[in-house]
């Protein structure tokens, strides 16, 4: 590892590592860092530890704090984009012609825009801005944003429990100095704080927070940590699927949402971010029903669209950030400093230059569709194949091109159920959780805007793409250096 990380002689002490492996797995289960299994995703009797690193991974303190300090500004940016119909229409105009999923979301957005607004709209955003560390030719490191997730930003629950696991491992390994450098981290409480504030502003003690969930529940314990924080505040929570909303959902004359006879104050989407989440036309009808209601949506449809890759690419254009922060040059400079190169594939001269650039040096770029959930990006020679096949087609406008970040690998062990333990060269991705609430009745300014925690995910350098849920990355903690 680099200076300040776990020393190489510790990493290569086979006797120590063998003893720590069993201890680490038991400690993860003891602390509730668990998932259901692939074979039994809905069975609470069959669980295993969630994949994680044996040791925390080194991360420069200055870059960690840069990400932390940017988060409240990204919260404001996403919120302002969601209030800008003209910008969303302009940014997504080409994408919705060729990407059916984004087009269907945008159609719901248009329908909701045309309806009379509820007199006290409450906006709740729970997002996660993800970064990697880019190493320049002279060896200096810089923070580069990969994406911002505005819907179902996951692992705030499980990662709230991982610091104690690594602290215990390091204590047993007699690495007490490194142990002191692991930060406290409780995104579950922070995310719940945002949900509870929105529930409180909604103003009905009988109303519930509804987690909108998938039919397969492997990652249910990540949800449960946030859910339990709400119950501790005496806020009732229910878990429902699209099918439940379609079957038992309704709006009253005041557009209050009822599901199974219970009034819903907040819809917290932990589902609905991928096309396959909408299993039938009824799922889309359920989404529209919820969006038309006066329940607080997390996210509402405009905030969901604000997190698309195409919007991210448009924000990187000169002068665009300034439209959202016209009198805040320091804010725009702070956010733009985290941007990497992002390029349009729209039809026309600019898009043609992007295609030529990608085909000439595919290893320098990532081709990204408008999708969330990990495992969707395209790398290397596959870029030539995919982009070459649609060069003259509008289909290419469903993608954006991004500079490939060049992080510095570090050695670590990745603990996965059923997988042999081996020392690997690893790459990490840092996420910052943001929570904000805006209530029009209380003015246009936010009543809550915070960075509520962080997430570090690490994967072997042999994998180009994929998160924890996709089975590639594992949970980690930053060891600040």
Catalytic residues: 128, 147, 149, 154, 309, 368, 372-373, 457
Q: Which two tokens stand for residue 22?
A: 């069993």
Among residues 245, 268, 247, 269, the alpha carbon closest in space to that of 257 is found at 245
Q: 3-class DSSP state for residue 93? A: coil
- 450 within 8 A of 72, measured Cβ to Cβ: yes
Q: Around Cβ 335, how many Cβ atoms within 10 Å?
A: 21
215 is in an annotated binding site: no
Consecutive H or E run containing 198: helix 187-202
379 is in an annotated binding site: yes
206 is in an annotated binding site: no
- By CB neighbour count within 10 A (0-12 exposed, 13-18 middle, 19+ buried), where does 135 fall? middle
* Chain-centre distance for alpha carbon 133: 17
167 is in an annotated binding site: no
**48/34 Cα distance (integer angstroms):** 5
- Round to the nearest angstrom and report the end-to-end CA distance of the chain: 11
Among residues 165, 86, 72, the alpha carbon closest in space to that of 127 is found at 72
Sequence-separated contacts (24+) of 79-86 with Cβ below 8 Å: 79/123, 79/125, 79/303, 79/436, 79/438, 79/446, 80/324, 81/302, 81/306, 81/311, 81/324, 82/123, 82/125, 82/299, 82/300, 82/302, 82/303, 82/305, 82/306, 83/302, 84/324, 85/113, 85/302
429 is in an annotated binding site: yes
131 is in an annotated binding site: no
Among residues 138, 136, 143, the alpha carbon closest in space to that of 60 is found at 143
Q: Around Cβ 234, how many Cβ atoms within 10 Å?
A: 8
352 is in an annotated binding site: no
42 is in an annotated binding site: no
**41/289 Cα distance (integer angstroms):** 28
217 is in an annotated binding site: yes
270 is in an annotated binding site: yes
111 is in an annotated binding site: no
- 333 within 8 A of 184, measured Cβ to Cβ: no
> DSSP code of 182?
B
272 is in an annotated binding site: yes
469 is in an annotated binding site: yes
Consecutive H or E run containing 246: helix 242-248
Q: Which two tokens stand for residue 346?
A: 């729209």
154 is in an annotated binding site: yes
**357/130 Cα distance (integer angstroms):** 25
295 is in an annotated binding site: no
413 is in an annotated binding site: no
376 is in an annotated binding site: yes
459 is in an annotated binding site: yes
- 350 within 8 A of 397, measured Cβ to Cβ: no
371 is in an annotated binding site: yes
Among residues 456, 452, 458, the alpha carbon closest in space to that of 197 is found at 452
Q: Which two tokens stand for residue 448?
A: 């809550």
State the binding site for Mg(2+): 147, 149, 372
State the binding site for ATP: 147, 309, 368-377, 379, 429, 459, 465
State the binding site for substrate: 128, 151-154, 217-219, 270-273, 457, 468-469
State the binding site: 128, 147, 149, 151-154, 217-219, 270-273, 309, 368-377, 379, 429, 457, 459, 465, 468-469
């Amino acid at each position: 590892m680099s200076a300040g990380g776990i020393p190489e002689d510790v990493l290569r002490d086979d006797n120590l590592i063998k003893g720590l492996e069993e201890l680490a797995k038991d400690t993860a289960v003891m602390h509730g860092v668990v998932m259901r299994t692939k074979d039994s995703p809905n069975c609470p009797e069959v669980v295993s530890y969630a994949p994680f690193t044996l040791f925390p991974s080194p991360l420069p303190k200055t870059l960690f704090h840069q990400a932390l300090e940017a988060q409240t500004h990204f919260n404001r940016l996403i919120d302002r984009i969601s209030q800008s119909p003209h910008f969303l229409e302009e940014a997504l105009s080409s994408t919705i012609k060729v990407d059916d999923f984004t087009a269907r979301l945008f159609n719901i957005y248009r329908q909701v825009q045309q309806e009379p607004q509820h007199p006290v709209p409450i906006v709740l955003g729970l997002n996660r801005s993800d970064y990697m560390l880019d190493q320049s030719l002279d060896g200096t490191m810089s923070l580069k944003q990969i994406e911002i997730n505005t819907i179902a930003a996951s692992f705030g629950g499980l990662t709230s429990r991982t610091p104690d696991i690594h602290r215990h491992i390091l204590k047993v390994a007699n690495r007490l100095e490194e142990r002191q450098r692991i930060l406290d981290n409780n995104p579950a409480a922070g995310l719940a704080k945002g949900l509870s504030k929105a529930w409180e502003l909604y103003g009905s003690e009988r109303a519930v927070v509804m987690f909108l969930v998938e039919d397969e529940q492997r990652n249910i314990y990540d949800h449960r940590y946030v859910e339990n924080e709400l119950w501790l505040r005496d806020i009732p929570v229910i878990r429902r699927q699209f099918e439940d909303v379609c079957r038992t959902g309704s709006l009253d004359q005041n557009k209050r949402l009822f599901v199974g006879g219970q009034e819903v104050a907040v819809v917290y989407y932990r589902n609905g971010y991928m096309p396959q989440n909408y299993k039938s036309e009824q799922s889309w009808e359920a989404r529209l029903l919820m969006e038309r209601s006066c329940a607080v949506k997390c996210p509402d449809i405009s905030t969901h669209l604000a997190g698309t890759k195409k919007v991210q690419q448009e924000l990187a254009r000169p002068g665009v950030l300034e439209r959202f922060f016209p009198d805040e040059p320091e804010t725009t400079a702070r956010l733009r400093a985290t941007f990497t190169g992002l390029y349009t594939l729209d039809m026309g001269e600019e898009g043609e230059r992007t295609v030529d650039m990608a085909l000439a040096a595919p290893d320098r770029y990532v081709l990204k569709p408008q999708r969330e959930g990990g495992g969707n990006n395209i790398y290397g020679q596959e870029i030539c194949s995919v982009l070459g096949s649609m060069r003259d087609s509008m289909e290419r406008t469903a993608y954006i091109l991004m500079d490939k970040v060049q992080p510095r690998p570090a050695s670590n062990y990745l603990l996965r159920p059923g997988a042999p333990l081996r020392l690997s060269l690893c790459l990490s991705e840092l996420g910052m959780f943001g929570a904000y609430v805006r209530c029009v009745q209380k003015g246009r300014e936010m009543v809550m805007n915070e960075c509520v925690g962080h997430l570090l995910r690490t994967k072997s350098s042999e994998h180009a793409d994929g998160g924890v849920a996709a089975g590639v990355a594992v949970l980690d903690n930053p060891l600040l250096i």
